[in-house]
A and B are shown apart, each in its own frame.
Chain A
Amino acid sequence: MTDIIWGTVTKIISTNSFEMNVSHQKDTNNDSYQDVEEINFTEIDIPSIPVDINSRNISQIEESLNDKFVKCEISGRNSENRLVCSVSHSGAGGY
């Protein structure tokens, strides 16, 4: 089963990476994660962020992701110690 963490995006690092405060971890995760993790996203389901990485810019990513609560499905860690994840919106704060 894929490990999953949730939290808020605190800083955009590049057009495919950000820093997040991890507030929730799936009970059945195989690993445990730090309170702050850097995420390298391979997939993202937010339409305003283009799939093609060359079509993205930092301000666009900041507008779409900064302070947002997201779900990260983890496939591993890369050489920069970032979690490699599929990122999606999670739940709703209200109706």
Chain B
Amino acid sequence: MRTAQILKEITNSKYTDIVSGKTPALIVPNVLSSSHCTLLSRKILKTNFMGSSPGISKKIGTSLSSHIYEKSQYFSNALLSNQTLKNLFSDNVSPIVIMQQTISKILQKQLSPAFENEMIYSLAMIRIHEHGDSVHLHRDNSNFEMSEYGISNLKNQLSAILYLQSPHHGGELTIYDKMWDKNDERMRHPEFGYSLDLIKNVTQKKILPVTGNMIIFNPKLYHQVESVIGLKSRISLGFFFGEKSKNHLCSWT
């Protein structure tokens, strides 16, 4: 049976199952305490927001997908984005560092931010989904889509998401048992994501955005964020990571 696994440490075979998509996701509970998440969420909601994305009212941070062919602009924005996050998290240990350390511990591999020609990649992104927000069916695949960037060469890429605030209702992450294939590109939507025809009759796993929990999954599995319902927004912090070598992971957004 395909179930998300709740674990604190994983073996090599379980890591392989996550990379292959056999296990839809790892749920790492209580990475941050509820009180720490509440504190951070309050600060985040007071920040001047930097932008929006398909299905996301507000986001803090920059990502490669906004700059697929604007490399120098991406790295300029990454510096600003990283500084904003540093300022935001200056009162406590950064949750980005806590996520990195947790991943490093459970996967037993070193994890550090990705650099290219001495320029640092964007460290993470905060996404704020408000009432009515949802993210359409998509996959994240830097190996295929970000070929202009060095991180496209990193193997076994995974996604890490930490939930800082749960909405009253909705906002589940639905992961489908279907890995992206290049033939799926014919099912692309011009603006964002893919046709829902791709996941007809495909098994799915819904993951609740529980405050303090971190999710690790293969982002090449098709996934979507269900509609958020209610006045309390869904706040998450995320980045991607992949293998630079067998025991060294690099992260970026």
Chain A bound to chain B: yes
Instruction: List A residues at the B interface (Cβ < 8 Å).
Output: 6-8, 21, 23-24, 45-48, 63-64, 67-69, 71, 89-95
Q: Give the distance in Å from the alpha carbon of A64 to the alpha carbon of B125 in the complex.
A: 27
B187 to chain A, nearest CB (A): 8
Nearest-Cβ distance from residue A24 to partner chain B, whole angstroms: 5
Asked if residues B188 and A93 are in contact (CB atoms below 8 Å), the reply is yes
Shortest B63–chain A CB gap in Å is 6
Given known contacts A23-B186, A93-B145, A94-B193, what 14 new A-B pairs fall within 8 Å (CB)? A6-B190, A21-B186, A46-B69, A48-B148, A69-B188, A89-B68, A91-B189, A93-B140, A93-B144, A93-B188, A94-B138, A94-B140, A95-B63, A95-B140
For B187, the chain A residues whose CB sits under 8 A away are 23
A69 near B185: Cβ-Cβ < 8 Å: yes
Closest 10 CB pairs of A and B: A94-B140, A94-B138, A92-B65, A8-B185, A69-B188, A91-B191, A67-B182, A6-B190, A95-B65, A94-B139
Give the most central of A7, A8, A93: most B CB within 10 Å.
A93
| B24 CB within 8 Å of chain A | no
Q: Is there an interface contact between B192 and A91, defined as CB atoms closer than 8 Å? A: yes
| Cβ contact within 8 Å between A95 and B188 | no
Residues of A within 8 A of B193 (CB): 93-94
- Interface residues as binary, B117-130 with A (CB distance below 8 Å gives 1, 0 otherwise): 00000000100000
A21-B186, A67-B182 as given contacts; A93 in contact with B148, CB under 8 Å = no
Number of A-B contacts (CB under 8 A): 68
CA distance A71 to B108 in the complex (A): 43
Chain B nearest CB, measured from A22 CB (Å): 10
Smallest distance from the beta carbon of B58 to chain A beta carbons, Å? 15
B20 to chain A, nearest CB (A): 19
A94 close to B145 (CB less than 8 A): yes
Contacts of B138 in A (CB 8 A): 92-95
CB neighbours (8 Å) of A71 from chain B are 190
Residues of B contacting A6 in the complex (Cβ-Cβ under 8 angstroms): 188, 190
**Chain B nearest CB, measured from A61 CB (Å):** 13
Determine if A63 and B68 form an interchain contact, defined as CB atoms under 8 angstroms apart.
Answer: no
The residue of chain B having its C-beta at the shortest distance from the C-beta of A7 within the complex is B186
By a CB distance below 8 angstroms, the chain A residues around B139 are: 93-94
Determine whether B71 belongs to the interface, using a CB cutoff of 8 Å to chain A.
yes
**Is B141 a contact of A93 with CB atoms below 8 Å?**
yes
CB distance from B78 to the nearest CB of A (A): 14
**Smallest distance from the beta carbon of A53 to chain B beta carbons, Å?**
19
Contacts of A24 in B (CB 8 A): 189-190
Provided the pairs A47-B69, A47-B71, A67-B182 are in contact, do residues A91 and B188 lie with their beta carbons within 8 angstroms? yes
